[in-house]
Amino acid sequence: MTESLDSAGKLNLAYWMRLTRTLDDALVAMWKQGRGVGGTFSGRGHEAIAVGAGYALGPDDVVAPMHRDLGCYLVRGMSPERILANQLGKEAGVTKGRDANLHGLGDLSLNIIGFVSHLPQSLPVALGAAMAFQYREEPRVALTFTGDGSSNTGLFHETLNLAAVQKAPFVLVVENNQYAYSTPLHEQMAIDDIVVRAPAHGVVGEIVDGNDVMAVYSAVAAAVARARRGDGPSLIEAKTMRMLGHAIHDGAEYVPAELLEKWQQRDPVTLWEAALVAEGALSEATLERLRGECHDEIEAAIEYAERAPLPDPATIGTGVYAT
């Protein structure tokens, strides 16, 4: 995996981020219109992290994304149809109506592990996948994401420690989006940078601009390469801002407006599109076409998901156990 990208790769990043934003915007709109089921989560502001990290993985690598990582599911091959169907509780959803919104969006045929609400739980699970690769001497890497909130849990530290002791091919991306639900960073921790928790456990740590997709991609690609070489785990702290509430019901009035305005100037999707236009890799016309394609793709997916059947209550008890 190279740590820089050719122009096709750079355009791919633009496509996946725009597709992510389009789907994210559609979800927010649908839920506000009362077309949703239960709640949903927006990952607005996190697109560069989710897409950049997901794009840096090889085809056989495993990822355990969370609820801000819509772009990662997409870039790893989960279709908008299946994601939308899941959000609407449909039989055609990834969980066949068993789990809500982005929760449980796991599919081992895509090397994606689904998450539970107890967020740091994905950390040791991804580490275990990495330990399996190491045990079988397969050149594969496991990557997972977590937030500033769960970086305060014991399990975050337990996992980093265990990953370092095992020298496992494991990469952890911490999406520091300034808030754990309504609680700002300074009420969560007495440090400025979460990354300082990495060297305490013997894990390599790095800070990246989470709104710069190329920076995220490069840092994650380097960490993945290091893991694949057998040089052990890494933590990447991607600093960003959660641009909407914790979930759809949350207006996030507790976030100062000037903070959001500041981060809005650095919107990760438009930032990357503007950079590509500036360097001549993308024309305004191509960009317009790209946006149109994403719009059409998501509209078709919505139509499919809304028409898809709900699960049959008679199936409620199936699948609790593997045969």
Partner 1 sequence: MTEIRHLTYLDAIAEALSVEMERDPNVVVLGTDVGGSFGGAFKVTKRVATQFGPRRVRNMPMTELAFIGAASGMALMGMRPVVEVQFADFISTGFDSIVQFAATTHYRWGAAVPWVIRAPSDGGIRSGPFHSQNPEAWFVHTPGLKVVAPATPADAKGMLLASIRDDNPVIYFEAKPLYRSLKGPVPDGSEAIPIGVARIAQEGDDVTIVTYGSTVHDSVQAAAELAGDGVTVEVIDLRSLKPMDTDAILESVAKTGRALVVHAANRMAGVGAEIAAFIAEEAFGHLDAPVRRLGGMDIPIPFSPPLEDTYRVSAYDIVRTVREMVAW
For partner 1, what does the binding mask look like between residues 21 and 60, x meaning CB under 8 A?
----------------------------------------
How buried is 289 (Cβ within 10 angstroms: 0-12 exposed, 13-18 middle, 19+ buried)? Answer: exposed
- Beta carbon of residue 230, minimum distance to partner 1 (angstroms, whole number): 15
Contact with partner 1 (CB under 8 A): which of 98, 226, 266, 295?
98
Q: Alpha-carbon distance 157 to 159, whole Å? A: 5
For tokens 């998901």, the residue is 305
Any contact of residue 107 with partner 1 (CB under 8 A)? yes
DSSP string, 60-99: T-EEE--TT-HHHHHHTT--HHHHHHHHTT-TTSTTTTSS
Check residue 116 for interaction with partner 1 (CB under 8 A): yes
Q: Tell me if 126 contacts partner 1 by CB under 8 A.
A: yes
Q: What single string gives the DSSP state of each residue in 120-181?
A: GGHHHHHHHHHHHHHHTT----EEEEEETTGGGSHHHHHHHHHHHHHT-SEEEEEEE-SEET
The distance between the two most distant Cα atoms of the chain, rounded to a whole number of Å, is 57
Is residue 271 a contact residue for partner 1 (CB under 8 A)? Answer: no
Contact of 99 with 113, CB cutoff 8 Å: no
Give the residue, chosen from 42, 121, 151, 218, that forms a contact with partner 1 under the rule CB under 8 A: 121
94 binds partner 1 (CB under 8 A): yes
Q: Name which position in 49, 105, 227, 244 contacts partner 1 (CB under 8 A).
A: 105
Q: For residue 209, give the 3-state DSSP assignment.
A: strand
Q: Which stretch binds partner 1 (CB under 8 A): 31-39, 150-158, 184-192, 300-308?
A: 150-158
Pick from 63, 85, 110, 130 the residue near partner 1 by CB under 8 A.
130
Minimum Å gap between C-beta 319 and partner 1 is 5
Position 99 contacts partner 1 (CB under 8 A): yes
One residue of 23, 51, 127, 220 binding partner 1 per CB under 8 A = 127
Which residues lie near partner 1 (CB under 8 A)? 62, 94-95, 98-99, 103-108, 113-114, 116-118, 121, 123-133, 135, 142, 154-155, 158-159, 161-162, 165, 319-323
